[in-house]
A and B are shown apart, each in its own frame.
Chain A
Amino acid sequence: MQQVPEATASRKSSDHLGAGIEGVGLVRAFGAFRALDGVSVSIRPGEFFSILGPSGCGKTTLLRVIAGLDSADAGSLSIDGEEMLAIPANKRPVNTVFQSYALFPHLTVRDNVSFGLRMKGLSPGEVAPRVERAMELVEIGPMAGRKPAQLSGGQKQRVALARAIVNEPRVLLLDEPLAALDLRLRRQLQTELRSLQRRLGMTFVHVTHDQEEALAMSDRIAVMNAGRIVQVASGRELYERPKNRFVAQFLGACNLIPGTVTARAGNVLTVATNVGPLEVRAGHGTLPASSQVTLAIRPERVRLNPEVPGRNSFSAELRDAMFTGAETQFTLSVAEMALRAVLASESVGAGSLRPGSAVVVDLPASALIVLED
Chain B
Amino acid sequence: MHTAAQRQDKGWWFGVPGIGWLGMFLVLPLLAIFAVSFLTRGEYGGYGLPVTIENYRRLAGWGELGFDPLYPVILGRSLALGFGTAVLCFLLAVPLTFFVAGLNERRRLVALTLVMVPFWTNLLVRTYAWQLLLGPGSGLSEAASTVGFIDAGEGLYPSWFAVAVGMVADFLPFFALPLYASVEKLDWTLAEAAADLGANRWQVFRHAVWPQIRPGAVAGFILVFLPATGQFVIPDLLGGAKTALLGNAIQQQFGQSRDWPFGSAMACVGLVIMGVGLFLQRWLNRPKEVAP
Q: Is the CB of B198 within 8 A of A106?
A: no
Q: Is the interface of B mostly helix, strand, loop or mixed?
A: helix
Q: Across the two chains, which residue of chain A brings its CB closest to B195?
A: A89
Decide yes or no: A96 and B292 within 8 Å by CB, A104-B208, A106-B211 being known contacts. Answer: no
The stretch of B130-138, B185-193, B266-274 that contacts the partner chain: B185-193
Q: Is the CB of A119 within 8 A of B288?
A: no
- Contact partner of A116 among B189, B190, B197, B208, CB < 8 A? B197
Q: Is the CB of B195 within 8 A of A90?
A: yes
B217 → chain A closest CB, angstroms: 14
Q: How far is it, in angstroms, between the C-alpha of A203 and the C-alpha of B265 when the chains are bound? A: 71
Q: Is the CB of B193 within 8 A of A106?
A: no
Q: Is the CB of A95 within 8 A of B197?
A: yes
Decide yes or no: A146 and B292 within 8 Å by CB, A90-B199, A104-B207, A119-B199 being known contacts. Answer: yes
- Interface membership of B94, Cβ < 8 A: no
B187-238 with Cβ < 8 A to chain A? 187, 189-190, 192-200, 203, 207-208, 211
Q: Is the CB of B290 within 8 A of A100?
A: no
B200 → chain A closest CB, angstroms: 6
Q: Across the two chains, which residue of chain B brings its CB closest to A70?
A: B192
- Interface membership of A150, Cβ < 8 A: yes
A72-106 with Cβ < 8 A to chain B? 88-91, 94-96, 98, 100, 102-106
Q: Is the CB of B192 within 8 A of A69?
A: yes
B243-292 with Cβ < 8 A to chain A? 288, 290-292
Q: How many A-B residue pairs have CB under 8 A?
A: 70
Residues of A within 8 A of B196 (CB): 67-69, 89-90, 94-96
Q: How far is it, in angstroms, between the C-alpha of A203 and the C-alpha of B236 when the chains are bound? A: 68
B88 → chain A closest CB, angstroms: 27
Q: How far is it, in angstroms, between the C-alpha of A116 and the C-alpha of B197 when the chains are bound? A: 5
A160-179 with Cβ < 8 A to chain B? 163-164, 167
Residues of B within 8 A of A67 (CB): 196
B189 → chain A closest CB, angstroms: 4
B9 → chain A closest CB, angstroms: 32
Q: How far is it, in angstroms, between the C-alpha of A120 and the C-alpha of B192 when the chains are bound? A: 16
Total contacting residues, chain A, CB less than 8 A: 29
Q: Is the CB of A88 within 8 A of B195?
A: yes
Q: Across the two chains, which residue of chain A brings its CB closest to B197?
A: A116
A70 → chain B closest CB, angstroms: 9
Q: How far is it, in angstroms, between the C-alpha of A66 and the C-alpha of B189 when the chains are bound? A: 16
Residues of B within 8 A of A96 (CB): 193, 196
Q: Is the CB of B195 within 8 A of A102?
A: no
The CB with the most chain B CB atoms within 10 A, among A69, A119, A147, A167, is that of A119
B205 → chain A closest CB, angstroms: 13
Q: How far is it, in angstroms, between the C-alpha of A164 and the C-alpha of B197 when the chains are bound? A: 7
Q: Is the CB of A119 within 8 A of B198?
A: yes
Type the 1/0 row for B129-165, where 1 means its CB is closer than 8 Å to any CB of A.
Answer: 0000000000000000000000000000000000000
- Interface membership of A328, Cβ < 8 A: no
Q: How far is it, in angstroms, between the C-alpha of A116 and the C-alpha of B194 when the chains are bound? A: 8
Q: Across the two chains, which residue of chain A brings its CB closest to B214?
A: A106
Q: Is the CB of A115 within 8 A of B197?
A: yes
Decide yes or no: A120 and B198 within 8 Å by CB, A106-B211, A106-B288, A147-B290 being known contacts. Answer: yes
- Contact partner of B190 among A89, A90, A102, CB < 8 A? A102
Q: Is the CB of B199 within 8 A of A146?
A: no
A180 → chain B closest CB, angstroms: 14
- Contact partner of A163 among B190, B197, B211, CB < 8 A? B197
Decide yes or no: A146 and B193 within 8 Å by CB, A90-B199, A104-B208, A106-B211 being known contacts. Answer: no
Type the 1/0 row for B116-130, where 1 means its CB is closer than 8 Å to any CB of A.
Answer: 000000000000000
Residues of A within 8 A of B190 (CB): 102, 104-105
Residues of A within 8 A of B197 (CB): 90, 95, 115-116, 119, 163-164, 167
Q: Is the CB of B291 within 8 A of A108?
A: yes
Residues of B within 8 A of A147 (CB): 288, 290
- Interface membership of A252, Cβ < 8 A: no
Q: How far is it, in angstroms, between the C-alpha of A105 and the C-alpha of B199 when the chains are bound? A: 17
Q: Across the two chains, which residue of chain A brings its CB closest to B193?
A: A102
Residues of A within 8 A of B195 (CB): 68-69, 88-90
Q: Across the two chains, which residue of chain A brings its CB closest to B290?
A: A147
Chain A interface residues toward B at CB < 8 A: 67-69, 88-91, 94-96, 98, 100, 102-106, 108, 115-116, 119-120, 145-147, 150, 163-164, 167
- Sorted nearest first, the 3 A-B pairs with minimum C-beta distance are A145-B291, A116-B197, A102-B193
Q: List 24 A-B contacts (CB under 8 A).
A: A68-B196, A69-B196, A89-B192, A90-B195, A90-B198, A91-B198, A98-B192, A98-B193, A100-B189, A102-B187, A102-B189, A102-B190, A102-B193, A103-B193, A105-B190, A115-B197, A119-B194, A119-B197, A145-B290, A145-B291, A146-B291, A147-B290, A150-B290, A167-B197
User: What would 8 more interface pairs be, CB under 8 Å, given A68-B196, A167-B197?
Assistant: A68-B195, A90-B199, A96-B193, A116-B198, A119-B194, A119-B203, A119-B207, A150-B290
